[in-house]
Structure 1
Amino acid sequence: MKEPLVSIIILNWNGKKWLQQLLPSLKKITYKPLEVIVVNNGSTDDSAEYIKKSHSYIKILELKKNVGYAGGNNRGVKSATGKYILLMNNDTLVTNDFVAPLVKAMEKDNTIGMLQPQIRSLIDRDALDSVGSYLTSTGFLYHYGYLKSYKGEKYQKQMPVYSIKGACFIMRKNDYMRLGGFDEDFICYVEETDFCHRVWLSGKKVFYFPDSYMYHYGGGDMRVMTKDDLTMLRSFRNRIWSYCKNLSILELIKILPVHILFCEVFILFALLTGKVRHSFGAQMGILACIPLLPKIIKKRKIIQQQIRKVEDKDILPFIFRNPRISYYIYLFSSLKGFKD
């Protein structure tokens, strides 16, 4: 029986140095048939010239301007012709046989809407970059397994997660399109979590799948998540936006006030420790939600009326996990010392 076509979509912005590492590894993938698309997201370097010269089999989707992670991937998926779309960051490295197990698992179980392989760190190849994340009662995500040894027994099991990491995941193209893809108003940050929430609401599941693994440079320290005020603004704004769109009224009443309280604690902590720009960015992110309320309500109505097929009580056992309180101390410094 002929295997289904998989479209690998790589988002690139001035990332020639990363493509020089990733693209040769893609050539060694044993799974066929494959379609590889590089979305050149407003790049001004010579990424496109490098691809044309050294990897002519790759399709290039040229975008005149950078439309963000969400917009770039949405355009890449729209141009893909495969049954499955496999989205990857450009700062990744793949193993020869990582695609086949993912496709096999998806073909076997139609209730799986999204699948993430085990993502290991390119900085420390013994460490996990992502298993996936869980929703907590504080609204901050529990990044399960982050920076822990991939050899740990608990990380060798397939498990449902609230959210995958956008560095690498596979899903059916028709599911992606049916659920609307990434929310382009997010631009970047939290968009994969928002999308995963919609996958769960649609009645399908999101899984971590350790039978397949690859590498991502991004794994190193949570401090890269708080490097500037714009990052903080988008992260804090988009997280609140996502909950307002996707949670039931009951769960929203439970989680949102606690989340905002924890946000304000973080803002105060950042201010007291001299991280004024972080503090300012986070506060602006919270305040930015207020003028966006009409748009949030409109999007919420579409999700709750057209996408939601299951109640929160039916999915919370799979997506909700509270870590110990010490997790929140580690979260904004380094999670390496925290034990799951």
Structure 2
Amino acid sequence: MKLKYEEAAAGHGKDQPDDDHSAGLTSTASLSPRPGACADVAIVILNWNGAGFLRRFLPGVLTHADGARVVVADNASTDDSVELLARDFPAVELLLLDRNFGFCEGYNQALAQVDSDFFVLLNSDVEVNLGWLRPLRRLLEVNPLIAAVQPKLLAHADPTYFEYAGAGGGYLDRLAYPFCRGRLFDTLEKDRGQYDDPRPVAWASGACLLVRRSAWQALGGLEPAFFAHMEEIDFCWRLWNAGHEVWYHGGSAVQHVGGGTLPKTNPRKTYLNFRNGLALLYKNAAPGELLPALLQRLLLDGVAGLRFLASGQLANCWAVVRAHFSFYGQLGYWRKRRRLAQPHLRVAERPGVYNGSLVWAYFGRSKRKFSELGLK
């Protein structure tokens, strides 16, 4: 299933209406397309109390939009985000949500109201550069099988290094632990052009993600129960199961601050990562591979909890416990979502999957770079 970029360029899902997500949403602008090179693209920024990031990065988004529409969907911010947008950014189309729906349902609510053929899910803490959008749009144009693509993500604090949330494209190990070309756990590589090639990946970063509207609607958008964290991995895994492709394109690069909503040490983030990690595996792993992978994942999560306890991080340890109780308590819901996801692709059939244990490679064998895993 791995196509070379040249093969993709020679390539010439399915489309059904999404559920009605319009409740609680009003528009303060006309959402009609405007002419330009990327006029069929809508750059949609989901904002919650991010006035500082909007003030800092939105001018660049507008400057380098390449004809695309720029939409900010505000998740019921309590800061001055809405006033800032109305006063300083009249060119931005503004959608107002009446409460904080979280990242997943917030985007589901907002994108149901935007009728462009392509969406860019763009974090408010991302700085874009001249020409960043067109290579992504071009890739989807030359290969209709591709439903989602991310650019290279570099660290805003030091753009010579990859950024945690997407780096050079997203991968999974056989237990669904996520990692990237350029990032294993918390170890970031320096960008030396080693991951500039376009290629299929297991998942693409939600910090900057170009998506076909038809595929988004066919899959029902992001998993609302995730709230935030790992939602793009789940979405991309479902894309592969549905016959679409997910790619990374190193010919486009953006800079991401990261941790703009919750820092990595926040117990709430720990809870979401562990709970969503279990749900991700349960929803999408192929029959026959689910049970052994889930049992190993439960064991490793227990080890992680004990490490938090040993290091005095009691809140994070308790977050792991709560994550497991939440997953077990909602097992009926996750079972229904698994049926909808229609998992069938085995590890060997999915691009971007390491048929080994990332935990063992990193902590047991001291592998710190993507290239040391033996993946191409």
Give yes or no for TM over 0.5: yes
> How big is each residue's C-alpha offset from its partner over 1:110-155, in whole Å with a ceiling of 9 and x where there is no partner?
11111000011101111111223222134322233122122242x1
2-side partners of 1:188 and 1:202: how far apart? 22
Match of 1:131 among 145, 151, 168: 168
Residue 161 of structure 1: aligned partner: 201
Residue 90 of structure 2: aligned partner: 56
Residue 219 of structure 2 is aligned to residue 150 of structure 1: no
Residue 263 of structure 2 is aligned to residue 229 of structure 1: no
Give 1:82 deviation, angstroms: 1.1
Q: What is the correspondence of 1:35-184 to structure 2 with a 5 Å cutoff? A: 35-129=69-163, 130-146=167-183, 147-153=188-194, 155-184=195-224
TM-score (norm 2): 0.81
**What amino acid does structure 1 have at the position aligned with 2:70?**
V
Give 1:303 deviation, angstroms: 1.9
2-side partners of 1:318 and 1:189: how far apart? 19
**What amino acid does structure 2 have at the position aligned with 1:5?**
D
- Which segment drifts farther, 99-108 or 249-258? 249-258
**What amino acid does structure 2 have at the position aligned with 1:141?**
P
Calculate the aligned-residue CA RMSD, in Å: 2.3
Is the CA contact (8 Å cut-off) linking 2:175 and 2:281 kept in structure 1? no
1-side partners of 2:146 and 2:258: how far apart? 26
Give 1:289 deviation, angstroms: 1.1
Q: Residue 325 of structure 1 aligns to a residue in which SS? A: helix
> How big is each residue's C-alpha offset from its partner over 1:189-225, in whole Å with a ceiling of 9 and x where there is no partner?
11111111101101111111101111100179xx942
Give 1:244 deviation, angstroms: 1.1
Is the CA contact (8 Å cut-off) linking 2:348 and 2:355 kept in structure 1? no
Q: 1:280 to 1:2 in 2, by over 3 A?
A: closer
Structure (1 or 2) with the greater helix fraction: 1
**What amino acid does structure 1 have at the position aligned with 2:236?**
C
Q: Residue 210 of structure 2 aligns to a residue in which SS? A: strand
**Structure 2 unpaired stretches of 5+:** 1-35, 371-376
Percent identical across equivalent pairs? 27
TM-score (norm 1): 0.89
Count how many residue pairs are aligned between Structure 1 and Structure 2.
326
1-side partners of 2:363 and 2:241: how far apart? 27
Q: What is the correspondence of 1:1-340 to structure 2 with a 5 Å cutoff? A: 4-29=39-64, 31-32=66-67, 34-129=68-163, 130-146=167-183, 147-153=188-194, 155-218=195-258, 224-225=263-264, 227-304=265-342, 311-312=345-346, 315-320=349-354, 322=356, 323=358, 325-328=360-363, 338-340=368-370
Is the CA contact (8 Å cut-off) linking 1:244 and 1:296 kept in structure 2? yes
Give 1:27 deviation, angstroms: 2.3
Residue 334 of structure 1: aligned partner: none
Give 1:321 deviation, angstroms: 5.1
Q: 1:41 to 1:329 in 2, by over 3 A?
A: farther
